[in-house]
Amino acid sequence: MNSTIIQAMKQHEILELRYHGYSRVVEPHAYGQDKDGDQILRCYQTSGGSASGERAGWKVLKVREIHSLHLTTHIFSARPDYKRGDKMMVYIFAQL
């Protein structure tokens, strides 16, 4: 799964995935490890569901809870409000 996330970031390719029972379409911006040792993905969700009811916006997903992850053929650009060096990550594997 991590190689797919990194590939998507390198190619600026949108991901489709399932997370907490919801299908989501996301733009991956940063992938790393948090202070608890969990691998996390900072992404911008463009469509799909969410437990919070927010269908679009910035999300931090625990990678171990992601299912059915796959690349799409759609390309995205980094969001203008994205900031490199995500403070939630103690180690960053990849970032835009």
- Provide the percentage of residues in the chain whose pLDDT is more than 70: 99
Q: Enter the pTM of the model.
A: 0.94
For domain 2-95, the CATH architecture is Roll (2.30)
Instruction: Give pLDDT tens digits for 12-55.
Output: 999 999 999 999 999 999 999 999 999 999 999 999 998 888 88
User: What are the structural domain ranges in the chain?
Assistant: 2-95
Instruction: Reduce the secondary structure of 17-34 to three states and give it as a string.
Output: EEECCEEEEEEEEEEEEC
